[in-house]
Structures are given as C-alpha cells and as structure tokens.
Chain A
Amino acid sequence: MQTHTYDVVIVGAGGAGMRAALESSTRARTAVLSKLYPTRSHTGAAQGGMCAALANVEEDNWEWHTFDTVKGGDYLVDQDAAEIMAKEAIDAVLDLEKMGLPFNRTPDGLIDQRRFGGHTRNHGEAAVRRACYAADRTGHMILQTLYQQCVKNEVEFYNEFYVLDLLLDTDLREAKRPRKGAEVTVVGVVAYELGTGEIHVFRAKSVILATGGAGKIFKTTSNAHTLTGDGMALALRRGLPLEDMEFFQFHPTGLAGLGILLSEAARGEGAILRNSEGERFMERYAPTIKDLAPRDIVARSMANEVREGRGAGPHKDYVLLDLTHLEPEHIEAKLPDITEFARTYLGIEPFTDPIPVYPTAHYAMGGVPTTINTEVLRSNTDVVGGLFAAGECACVSVHGSNRLGTNSLLDINVFGKRAGVAAAAYANEHELVELPEDPAAEVVAELDRIRTAEGGENVAELRRTLQETMDADAQVFRTEESLTRALGTIDDLRRRYRSVSVQDKGRTFNTDLLEAVELGFLLDLARVVVVGALARQESRGGHFREDFPTRDDKGFMHHTMAYARPTSGPDTEIRLETRPVTVTRYQPMERKY
C-alpha cells in the first residue's frame, strides 16, 4: 500500500474534474484520479452544445436562460443556483474559447449559436438561438480542450485508478448522526490501481467528487459502460445523503434498440419526429415549440405514441426522426457525427430515410447534494469540511426534475470551476486531518472477498437482471405496482450480490474484479432511485407516475434526501427526508410549451 499526500484530490477527469483541476492546480498541490484515461471520459460523447446568453445571433439575456432552466426543471430547481449558472455561462463559454475550443462561427467570426429544446426568448415566446456549439461534437471539443490545458499546466493525473472509498473523520453511517453544527471533515480517498492491483491511500485537505453519471443502472442508455455512479455510491455508503435520485432523464432520441445518442441539435436544426402515420405528433403535445419541447415531455410523448399503437417499424415500437427535408449539405456541416451513427449502427441513410429512435436513459438530475459553492451537504444545513462535488454526480440543484439540453456541459464548466476554486481555498486555510488506523482495511477486505470467492453469483447476470428490471419498471412511465416490483427484484439482487464471484484472480488489469465492484455501486443507486420514485406520489419533470399523473406542489414541492441507514440485518435501508426548494423570483406555474 502506498500513501500519497496532496492539498486537493479530484476524483474523475471528465469535464467537471478537469475544469476544477485547471483552477485548483494553480493554487494548491493537486492530483486528479481517473478510472479511465481523461480523454475517454463521457463528456466527450456530448454533442449538441452549451447554452449561454451571448446574444451573438439574436436578442437574449441570462434572465431568460434562468427562467427556462427553472421551468424546464418543473420548478424543482434551486433558483439561486440556476441564476448563478445562467450568469456565469457567458464567461464559461468565453473561457473555453480562450483556451482554444474550436466553436463554429458566424460569418462575422463570432461564436455561432443554435436552437435547443426548452430554451426560449422572453419566457417561452419562441425558441431562441442560445447553444454555442462545435458541429455535433461539442462535448468532444470541451473534453479535448480541457485536457490540452491540463497538459499545458502539467496537471498531475493518476490514470486508471479506481477510487473505492471516501475517508471522513467521523463515521456518519450510524443511525445516530452528529449534532447540527458539529464539524465533519474529509480525510482523503482510497484508490485501486488497475494496472497493478495495488491499493493507494490519498490524504488530502480537499476532495472533489466529479465522477459523472450512473446510466448503467438501465439497459437502454446513452451512457458509457463505465458510468456506474461511483462517486454517488461512495458518498451514500459513508452515510451522506443523495438528493433527488428519482429524477432520471430519458433522452428522446436514442438509436432504437441501441440507445446511442442522437443529439437534440438534430431537432434544433429542423428535424421532426413522426409516428407510423407520418404525423408530426409533437404538435399535439407542445403546440408552441413542438419538437423542441424539453426532453421529459418529448420522451413521454414518444412513449405514448408507441403505447397507443402509432409506433413505426415491424413491431411498432419506435418513432422516426425525420431529416429528409433538410439540405444534405446543411446536415453534413452541422450534424456529421450523428448521421454517421445512423449509417454505421442501423444502416440508415438519414438524407433519404427517417431514423428509428426511442428514449434512452441519459442523465441523473440527482446526486450528491451541494451548496452553490459545491460544498457537499451531510444534512440539510451542514457541510462536510473539505468535500466538494460537481457535474453529473452532484446535485446543486440546477436541473431540478428535468435538465434542459446543453445545461450539463454548462454545469460542468460553471460548477467545475467553482469547485476547483473552493477546494483550493479550503486547502490553503486548513491542515491535513490524521488518517484513521488502517484506512484501506474495508476496501481490501471487500476486494479479497470478491476475488477469492468461488462459484458464486455471476456479475453479468445480476447486472443484466437489474438493467432489464429498471427499463421495464422504472423508466418513462412508473406506477406503484411497477416500482414495488422493481424494488423486490433489487433487494433480491442485493442479497445475491453478497456471494458474487469472479473468474479473474490476477493482480494485473483485473477488469473482471472491478466490474463486480461497479455492480455494487449500481445496485446501491438503483435502490435509491426506486425508493425515491415510490415515495414521490406525483408527476414532475422526468418522474412520471401513471397513478399520480399531475404535479402536486402542496405535497411534493421539495427535494428528496435519501440516506442509507443500518438495520438489524446485513443490508442497510434507505430513509427519505426532504429539503426545501430555493425559490427566488419564479413562483411555480403550470408547465406548457
């Protein structure tokens, strides 16, 4: 076991982690731990754009952007956070341009902007051109640009290091929690080096969680295989709450059957969704902005068309994304990658044939709760000293119950930067906390248990059952019955997971072992999603209960705070509490588009 000491340790090297690193590494001694090479992170898969009210091509301002974000999130957004994000968006885009990001340009050489779902002029009048973009590979360009800057600034990376535990100076896992105001401080993290199988302890004054999403709890997903919610699960296991996990975004246009993302930018550039009858059905669901309604509404509308028998294809189980009326040159210039996806993976030529699409699990609105300065909350009122979180793994909450397209690339830049600044400032004002005795003991014991078990449960089978269950029972449409069924399956899988085993017993690059560990994270998080969804007896944003089809502001205008608490048995249980939504200038209204 090796022990390292840093001022700041950043867990994750996607957009949020690297944006944070660019700030903290100039102010404090910083290490970035990533389970992948940084350029493999899933920020690179984001396509359409990053919204900021630059007003380069038409009138716009950050207040409209704030409003759209709040309304898009079905009023569960913390409005102070949304305002910060919309204001700081402008500098976030300009920062990236100055770092060299190759944005598409207007004829005058300014950063070009295009339309995106839910982003409107003057509080919903019409779609507005707000998304700054680089063809349909904006995320790729952001990831590459941030990595380039990290290379320039000689940021210290530990690549292919899996962080498997978060060390705090106080055990928060017990039923009895520290009193209000009591100091709880981060100590560091425990990591597993994939290349050698060695355990490393990183002592740090500040730790930033930036581990991204958890889309792999679902079967049909746009997410990478590696998006297993590690940071969220580590926090939950250490007794910290997770916020609003029942809200998961299903992106409308996944390639049917595969889940591969086709950017909303396609609709921003004029593509239209049609059912088997050729009807532009979004005119019925969102008369004003039609195909550019927010994702929750479009996804639900698509699923409803299929349910009512108007799906396309031999099994009538998808709808069609039609680009055939657009100029091929325009598509080639603005959407080169996604047209290639259609050709490569489905053999469809999008210039002449519509593309089969169906909603795909895309984004966790919930995550590790933080303040607007990215400090991690351990309760509604207290933070953990030195612990920060940003990006998809965090919940600020700027996305509420439904994130608007492009706001995730914005989130990682705005709050990634804030996290880097805040973590460095904290580190410069505090001393290191003593490591506990044998800090890696729990991780070592768990890894040994999995590695040495023989003939136990199969990781892939448990994971497939989990993912199929979540797709069937906790996707776009949910009911008490489906969610109860899902919870029963998850509880059973959790029991079976305790006797999981792997075939690879080696030390070098043992991905078999790490897939087993990641399955543990997925099982933890899927349970929180389902328990939260069961308790939320209303429909809001990405969470739709067929048995409670309307929003209920009296009963549920609050955030969910989920804690894992000990039971008399071997498993924990999920306890739910609530946290008020911060409302500044926008009172909840009915959400129409």
Chain B
Amino acid sequence: MTATTTSPAASVGEVPSFDVTLRFRRFDPDAANPEPFWQEFTVTAHGTDRVLDAMHKVKWELDGTLTFRRSCAHGICGSDAMRINGRNRLACKTLLKDLDLSKPIVIEPIKGLPVVKDLVVDMEPFFASYREVMPFLIAQGNTPSKERRQSPEDRARYDDTTKCILCAACTTSCPVFWTDGQYFGPAAIVNAHRFIFDSRDEGAAQRLEVLNDKEGVWRCRTTFNCTDACPRGIEVTKAIAEVKRAMITRAF
C-alpha cells in the first residue's frame, strides 16, 4: 500500500509515508501446543501514525488473529499499555516517527501479569491491588447540604495523582512487582495518594495501615521506572515518597 492521503494531518509537519516492521511476542492459548513465539509484519505507515495505527493495519489487512486491547486511541482510556522496544507505553500515544525505524519495533505484553493471548494480559491482579487501598472518598459525619469547601491550594496537593487512568504501565514496569506479584505496585499507591492528600478525606490512617504491610510501600526501591513509564506524566516515585513520609510523620 502506498500513501495517497491528502488528509490535513498528513500535511501537518509533512512527514512522508514509510515502511515499518513490527515484531510481536505472540501467544495463542487455543493452539494445539500453546507456546509463545515471535512474528514480524511489515506495513506502510504515515507521518502522524501511532504504533496502534500500525497494529490495526496488521490486524485489519494481514492477520486478524493478532490480539490486543484498545478503545479511545488517544491516551485516555488506558487499554493499550504494552512493552514497546523494552519500555512500557500506550500504543496509541507512541508515534512511529519517534521510534528507531531502522530496526523492527519490538512489541510485547506488559510484564508481571499472566498473558491471556498475544498482548492481552489478565488485569484482575492489578485491579485487586487497586481495590485493596480503598480508592474512594471516606468521609464521616453528616453529608453537607452543599459542596464541601476545598481551597485551590488543598486541591493542588493531590492533583497529579488524579490523572491516573489505571493502564498498569507503571506497576508492570516495576522490578519489585516482576519478582513479587504480591507487591501492591505503584498504581495502587498512586490511587491511595490521591485520597490520603485530599483535605476532604478521613481515611488516610486506614490506607496507610494497608500500605504499611510487608507487600506495601516499603518494598519500593525508588528505581523511577514507574515515573518513566507513566503515559500521563504523573510523578509516581514522588507520590510514593510522599506516602512513605506520611507514614513516618503521620502528617497528611
């Protein structure tokens, strides 16, 4: 296929079409003898195409069995976290032109969660950790008739961690999580942080108790993989450090 598009996007930045080779780590549980294997495909892409666009080309034009999750296609829903050239990213937020195209783009499922099929992993363990930190507002007493007041400064304290889309890019980039699947992982701690530092919340002590567990926040080795992996730019390691500090000082 050659580029014939005259869409506005093609003219923005004027990046021509080019061939890309994608190298997938594949796994078919329905196969007679299910073993992971590598497979390469080459497709023609355009300047503004993302890795997800190239993957769709493979699925729609070459091999319909290639399986991955995706939905919004612009970095908001968190469905398509995967390991691209050894780094956790969202396929819909990674532009092809930003990658080294002289070699195949290596695409694998995120690590540390059971692989279901090709790039699809079982997300249940991830969401189970999320649920354990009580990721909801805990407020005692009578419900006010109007809104609770919160100053812009208090609102700013937890702004960063409200951006989380639960894509699991951070947790599955963490070496501690790879070796110990019991570890809560960065995403759960981020979502605890979001409430611990919310001035309206009264559940901080309970959450810190949960995260003080041996599989909790102290297992973090501050490798910053999570911060690098976050497609939303959340300073994950910093948030974890703030939770650790709150646990010591009991100030939040």
Contacts and interface: CB of A to CB of B under 8 A. Distances in A.
Contacts of B11: 257, 313-315
Contacts of B162: 102, 134, 141, 144
Interface in B189-210: 195, 198, 200-201
Given A41-B77, A94-B147, A100-B136, A503 B8 contact: no
Contacts of A224: 71-73, 77
Contacts of B135: 148, 151
B7 A257 contact: yes
Interface residues of B, number: 69
A546 B90 CA distance: 42
B93 interface: yes
Contacts, number: 183
B150 interface: yes
Interface in B117-142: 117, 120, 123, 127, 130-131, 134-137, 139
B103 interface: no
A114 to B, nearest CB: 14
A588 B61 CA distance: 50
A270 B76 CA distance: 24
A59 interface: no
Interface stretch (A185-193, A294-302, A322-330, A344-352): A344-352
Contacts of A258: 9, 48
B67 interface: yes
Contacts of B120: 509
B158 interface: yes
B186 interface: no
A346 B64 contact: no
Given A102-B158, A313-B12, A111 B48 contact: no
A550 B178 CA distance: 63
A149 interface: yes
Interface string A222-236: 001110000000000
A42 B77 CA distance: 7
A29 interface: no
Interface in A439-474: 458-460
B79 A151 contact: no
A288 interface: no
B147 A346 contact: no
Contacts of A345: 48, 50, 74, 95
Contacts of B131: 151
B166 to A, nearest CB: 5
A99 B30 CA distance: 43
A55 B60 CA distance: 50
Interface string B25-67: 0001110000000000000000010100000000111011101
A107 interface: yes
Given A105-B152, A346-B9, A100 B195 contact: yes
A110 B9 contact: no
Contacts of B166: 37, 39
A492 to B, nearest CB: 20
A226 B72 CA distance: 8
Contacts of A97: 147-148
Contacts of B238: none
B9 A39 contact: no
Contact of A512 (B64, B76, B77): B64
B211 to A, nearest CB: 17
B95 A45 contact: no
Interface in B206-241: 233
- Report the contact-size class of chain A (Cβ under 8 Å from the partner): 35 or more
A509 B147 contact: no
Contacts of A509: 67, 116-117, 120
B9 A256 contact: yes
Contacts of A103: 147
Given A255-B9, A344-B95, A504-B67, A98 B74 contact: no
A39 B78 contact: yes
A149 B8 contact: no
Nearest to B144: A98
A102 B161 CA distance: 11
A108 B154 CA distance: 12
A40 B12 contact: no
Interface in A103-157: 103-111, 134-135, 137, 140-141, 144, 148-149, 151-152
B68 to A, nearest CB: 8
Contacts of B50: 345
A80 to B, nearest CB: 27
Interface string A494-513: 00000000111011111110
A40 B127 CA distance: 13
A276 to B, nearest CB: 13
Contact of B77 (A45, A104, A340): A45
A39 B70 CA distance: 12
A107 B151 CA distance: 6
Contacts of A566: none
Nearest to B195: A100
B64 A36 contact: no
Interface string A255-281: 111101100000000000000000000
Contacts of A144: 162, 164
B64 A508 contact: no
A358 B77 contact: no
A218 to B, nearest CB: 14
A506 B30 contact: yes
B136 A149 contact: yes
Interface string A30-58: 00000011011110110000000000000
B8 A315 contact: yes
Contacts of A458: 60
Contacts of B60: 458-460
A148 B137 contact: yes
A98 B139 CA distance: 9
29 contacts: A37-B123, A39-B77, A39-B165, A40-B79, A45-B72, A97-B147, A97-B148, A99-B137, A100-B136, A102-B158, A102-B198, A104-B152, A105-B150, A134-B162, A140-B76, A152-B136, A256-B9, A257-B8, A257-B12, A315-B8, A346-B13, A356-B8, A358-B8, A459-B60, A460-B61, A502-B64, A511-B68, A512-B59, A512-B65
Interface of A: 36-37, 39-42, 44-45, 93-94, 97-100, 102-111, 134-135, 137, 140-141, 144, 148-149, 151-152, 195, 224-226, 255-258, 260-261, 313-315, 317-318, 340-341, 344-348, 356, 358, 458-460, 502-504, 506-512
Given A98-B144, A104-B155, 4 more contacts: A102-B198, A107-B152, A109-B150, A358-B8
